[in-house]
Structure 1
Amino acid sequence: MQSLHVNGYDMAYLDIGRGPPLVCVHGSLSDFRIWSAVLGPLTRRHRVIALSLRHFFPDHWDGIGGTYSIAQHVDDVIAFIEKLDIKPVDLMGHSRGGHISFRVAQRRPDLLRRLILAEPGGELDGTLDPDFKPGPSPLAARIAASAAVIAQGDIDGGLEIFIDALEGPGAWKRLPATPKQLLRDNAVTLIGQTRDKRPPFSRADAEAIRTPTLFIGGANTRGALPKVLHALEAHVKGARTEMIPGTTHPMFEQAPQKYCEIVLEFLAAS
């Protein structure tokens, strides 16, 4: 593990392999360790740089303060790439990390060669969703309910609410010990996420992306995530989409070989 001082914060990251740089941005409740299942195949052809966002493990944040936000994380990833001085990079983000990577591509396409968005998290505005209604989304309500329980000190209880809502009843109890611990290590970040003020995706946002883009989804993912993915890919010029059979939101953990095949093929294209 290494660290890079970015915007007044020490960002931890892994830097493994040789070749064109591939920067990986994790999602909610995770950190750079989440990519462990795909590091082997990816590092055979790429220098993989997997970072931990501000306030995620190995940081042990107390949930206090206003420095946890999509805007801050986007600023941090931009500064991280600039400070490494390796542009242009391929950028891959999952879930919340997909949202952050999308915003990096929107603001600083000069930093990027290719963009991979694995079920980017977020909401759609009225230009992309005919059923849009102002106010908190179901996802925001789920996060708030989970964070309230975590804030009371019941880490496992709060995580069970969140994971079961995402993956179905009983999903938390079925998780093995190692992924459970990774979630516990980052549980307090959900408190920050309740104050996130994440901007919804718009059609203009999607049309502004000019970086060659690949969307990846789990064919069995529930809820709003597939809707967001397909709404965005329909308006990102030239975007490709791959759905991995038999998987849900953590598709690169459930089918790492297939995920890597898709990613490496896309990155190798001229």
Structure 2
Amino acid sequence: MKGAILAGDDVLPPDGAVPPPWPARRVMIDGAMLHVRDTPGATPAAEPAVYVHGLGGSSQNWTDFAGLLADRLDGQAMDLPGFGYSDPSPRYSIAAFADKLTGYLEAAGRGPVHLIGNSLGGSICVRVAALRPDLIRTLTLISPAMPFLDPRRTAQGPVLPLLALPRADRLLAWGMARLTPEQMAQQVLLACFGDTTKVSPQRRAEAIEEIKLRYTVEHYAKAYLGTLRGLVSSFLRAYLPGVNSQWRLAARITAPTLVIGGLKDELVDPRVPAQVARAIPDSRLLILPGVGHVAQMEVPRLVARAVVGMLAEVGAPAGRGAERPLSPPG
């Protein structure tokens, strides 16, 4: 593990108007529809990238960040099965999501990609990178939902007792119905951001529209709880013998990897990113004080600079600009 490298801010496009969500299309994988948003590369040298969101999120979690990297990365952001506009899935385990992502990467046929995942998406990406190194050029993990011993200490804690109840999805749907989309959006933003003042009015409005969509999708509560159950199961298996331990998988990753964590993360123990970086052989670590669970949304320029720094280090199209190493915390 070593400190991440930050490229100079001048290598990124200047701040401008907040862009709308990127155009979307439908892709059929194994008979099910995946909803994918494209952030096309802005130069011929741009290399293929895939973005994977976290629990309860969607492909819109990458809008600003992907735009900042369009000079270097030809990006595709998918809605995971059961989330956003994608079809539901019969299973919501980490392994099932990883199989779907692998199928998508194979079907796209773009060669090894720069794979970037947040939270649940980070955990999924760990499994794919470990089992299919031929599909991965570099790996970036932002607040990856890797196993830690007491998930009750996070903002997901109040939901965990539902996992043991019959028809828990109906209880969750009932609880959702008691909140307006505006109230739920505020709760989500408070849980995910270290500083909610960094959320632009447009992004807040988009979050409310996404939550309104959840009220109309019958499978959402089942997908959410099924995925949370799958995550908790991966936490338990991580400390048992066997090949499915997420920590053993992390140790098998050969791709150059950037791990980013926020010290104000309310959903993943803030100590986890450093543990992940220690587990992955070729890793770089960036810890962000004052930042929450979705650093690519809260401080997209800073996260993009770290990605560009890694791209320059491994010989990908990183452009020009001053770079400086950051030492990981001791």
TM (normalized to structure 1)? 0.81
Deviation string for 1:9-59 (max 9, x for gaps)? 111111222210110000011111111121221112210111111111114
**1:71 aligns to what?**
95
Q: Secondary structure at the match of 2:95?
A: helix
How do 1:38-187 and structure 2 match up within 5 A?
A: 38-59=65-86, 66-124=90-148, 132=149, 137-138=152-153, 141-144=157-160, 149-152=171-174, 154-155=176-177, 157=179, 159=184, 176-186=204-214
Q: Which of the numbers 190, 214, 227 marks the counterpart of 1:193?
A: 227
Coordinate RMSD, CA, aligned:
3.1
Does 1:231 pair with 2:275?
yes
Does 1:244 pair with 2:278?
no
Does 1:16 pair with 2:75?
no
**1:5 aligns to what?**
28
Letter of the structure 1 residue corresponding to residue 306 of structure 2:
I
Alpha-carbon distance change, 154 to 204 in structure 1, aligned in 2, over 3 angstroms: closer
Give the Cα separation in 2 of the matches to 1:138 and 1:195: 16
Give the Cα separation in 1 of the matches to 2:66 and 2:300: 9
Alpha-carbon distance change, 38 to 237 in structure 1, aligned in 2, over 3 angstroms: same
Greater Rg over alpha carbons, structure: 2
Give the Cα separation in 2 of the matches to 1:32 and 1:218: 21
**CA shift at 1:223, angstroms?**
6.0
Letter of the structure 2 residue corresponding to residue 199 of structure 1:
S
Give the Cα separation in 2 of the matches to 1:149 and 1:141: 16
Letter of the structure 2 residue corresponding to residue 185 of structure 1:
L
Whose RCO is larger (CA < 8 A, sep 6+)?
2
- The worse-fitting range, judged by mean Cα deviation, of 153-162 and 198-207 is 153-162
Does 1:219 pair with 2:240?
no
Does 1:27 pair with 2:54?
yes
**CA shift at 1:120, angstroms?**
0.5
Letter of the structure 2 residue corresponding to residue 85 of structure 1:
G
Give the Cα separation in 2 of the matches to 1:23 and 1:268: 18
Q: Which of the numbers 307, 310, 330 marks the counterpart of 1:266?
A: 310
Alpha-carbon distance change, 59 to 28 in structure 1, aligned in 2, over 3 angstroms: same
Give the Cα separation in 2 of the matches to 1:165 and 1:49: 26
Deviation string for 1:135-184 (max 9, x for gaps)? x755564333686653215346495777656669x99xx99333233345
Q: Secondary structure at the match of 2:259?
A: strand
Tell me if the contact between 1:21 and 1:89 (Cα under 8 Å) persists in the aligned partners: yes
**CA shift at 1:60, angstroms?**
7.3
Tell me if the contact between 2:264 and 2:292 (Cα under 8 Å) persists in the aligned partners: yes
- The worse-fitting range, judged by mean Cα deviation, of 244-253 and 84-93 is 244-253
Contiguous gaps of at least 5 residues in structure 1? 125-131
Percent identity of equivalent pairs: 26
Tell me if the contact between 1:151 and 1:191 (Cα under 8 Å) persists in the aligned partners: no
Give the Cα separation in 2 of the matches to 1:79 and 1:156: 38
- The worse-fitting range, judged by mean Cα deviation, of 136-145 and 77-86 is 136-145
TM (normalized to structure 2)? 0.68
**CA shift at 1:206, angstroms?**
2.5
Letter of the structure 2 residue corresponding to residue 193 of structure 1:
T
Give the Cα separation in 2 of the matches to 1:14 and 1:229: 27
